[in-house]
Structure 1
Amino acid sequence: MATTIRQVAEAAGVSIATASRALSGSDAVVPATKDRVLRVAAALDYTPSRLARGLVTGTTGNIGLIFPDITNPFYTSFLAEVESLVGAHDLGIVIGDSHEDPDREYALVRQMSTQVDRLVLTSSRLTDEQIVAAAGRLPIVLANRRLGDDMAMPPRLSQMVIDVDAGFTAAVTHLYKLGHRRLTYLDGPARSWSARQKRAVLTRVCGELGLNLTIVGIERPDFTAGLAAGTDLDLDQATAVLAFNDQVALGVLAALRARGIDVPGRISVIGCDDSLPDGLAWPALSTVDSSSRALGALAAAAVLDPESKQNGSVPTRLIVRRSTARAAVDLNPREEKTPEPS
Structure 2
Amino acid sequence: MASLTDRPPASGVVRAPSKPATIKDVAAAAAVSIATVSRALNGGERVLPETVARVRAVALALGYTPSRTARGLVTGRSANVGVILPDVTNPFFAPLLAAIESAAQAQDHGVLIGDSREDPAAELRIARRMTSQADGIILVSSRLPDDEIRALAARVPVVLANRQLAGLDSAVIDVAPGFTGAIEHLAALGHTRVLYLAGPAGSWSGQAKERALHDAAAASGIMLTTWGPHRPTFDGGRQVADRVLASGYGAVICYDDLMALGLQSRCADRGVDVPGELSIIGCDDALPDGMARPALTTIEGRSDELGQLAADLLLDRMARLTDPPQSRTVTSRLIIRASTAPTPHKLR
- With normalisation by structure 2, the TM-score equals 0.89
Identity %: 49
Aligned equivalents of 1:173, 1:15: Cα separation in 2: 70
Equivalent in the alignment of 1:302: 313
Q: 1:62 aligns with which of 80, 83, 101?
A: 80
How much has 1:219 moved relative to structure 2? 3.6
Q: Where has structure 1 moved over 4 Å in runs of 4 or more? A: 25-28
Counterpart residue type for residue 231 of structure 1? D
Moved more, 310-319 or 37-46: 37-46
Partner of 1:322: 338
- Local SS of the residue matching 1:283: coil
Greater displacement, 270-279 / 200-209: 200-209
Q: Does 1:143 align with 2:161?
A: yes
User: Structure 2: which amino acid aligns with 1:318?
Assistant: L
CA distance in 1, matches of 2:248, 2:224: 9
Alignment-derived partner of residue 292 in structure 2: 281
Give the one of 188, 199, 207 matched to 1:196: 207
Counterpart position of 1:339: none
Q: Which amino acid in the other structure matches residue 317 of structure 1?
A: R
1:73 to 71, 91, 101: 91
**Other structure's SS at 2:121 match:** helix
Question: Paired residue for 2:56?
Answer: 38
Q: Secondary structure at the match of 2:306?
A: helix
Alignment of 1:208-223 (within 5 A): 208-223=219-234
Q: Is 1:159 paired with 2:198?
A: no
Q: Distance in 2 between matches of 1:17 and 1:305?
A: 29
Q: Which residue matches 2:280? A: 269
SS of the residue corresponding to residue 84 of structure 2 reads strand
Looking at structure 2, the residues matched to 304 and 188 of structure 1 have their Cα atoms a distance apart, in angstroms, of 31
Structure 1 unaligned spans of 5+: 333-342
Counterpart-to-counterpart distance in 2, 1:39 and 1:146: 44
Does structure 1 conserve the Cα–Cα contact (< 8 Å) formed by 2:201 and 2:229?
A: no
Instruction: Kindly provide the CA deviation profile for residues 92-146 of structure 1, in whole angstroms up to 9, marking residues without a partner as x.
Output: 0000000000000000110000000010000000011111111100111100001
Matched, 1:257 2:273: no
**TM-score if structure 1 supplies the norm length?**
0.91
Cα deviation digits, residues 242-275 of structure 1 (max 9, x gap): 0000011000100111111000001100000001
Quick one: which amino acid aligns to residue 329 of structure 2?
Answer: S
User: Counterpart of 2:27?
Assistant: 9
Is 1:98 matched up with 2:112? no
Cα distance per residue 1:70-107 (max 9 Å; x no partner):
11111111001111122111110000000000000000
Compute the displacement of 1:304 (Å): 1.9
CA distance in 2, matches of 1:270, 1:244: 9
- Post-superposition offset of 1:36: 2.1
Q: CA deviation at 1:330?
A: 4.1
Displacement, 1:223?
0.5
SS, match of residue 51 in structure 1: helix
Residue of structure 1 in register with 2:105 after alignment: 87
Shift of 1:25: 4.2
Q: Name the count of aligned residue pairs.
A: 325
Q: CA deviation digits over 1:284-309, x for unaligned, max 9?
A: 00000111011011112112211242
Q: CA, structure 1 residues 235+327, in 2 after alignment: closer, same or farther (shift >3 Å)?
A: farther
Cα separation, 1, equivalents of 2:60 and 2:173: 44
- 1:17–1:56: 8 Å Cα contact kept in structure 2? no
Work out which of the residue numbers 147, 151, 170 in structure 2 matches 1:133. 151
Question: Does the Cα contact within 8 Å between 1:182 and 1:237 map onto a contact in 2?
Answer: no
Assess if the C-alpha contact under 8 Å between 2:197 and 2:230 holds in 1.
no
Pair 1:117-2:128 in alignment: no
* Superposition deviation, residue 235 in structure 1: 4.3
RMSD, matched Cα: 1.6
Candidates 101, 126, 148, aligned match of 1:108: 126
Contact 1:218 1:225 in 2 (8 A): no
- Are 1:182 and 1:213, in contact at CA under 8 Å, matched by a contact in 2? yes
Report the counterpart of residue 327 of structure 2 in structure 1: 311
Per-residue displacement from partner, 1:143-171 (whole Å, max 9, x unpaired)?
A: 00012xxx5x2xxx311111001100010
Structure 1 residue 6, shift from structure 2 partner: 3.6
**Shift in CA distance, 236/119, structure 1 to aligned 2, threshold 3 Å:** closer
CA distance in 2, matches of 1:236, 1:72: 28
Aligned residue identity for 2:194: L
**Which amino acid is 2:327 matched to?**
N
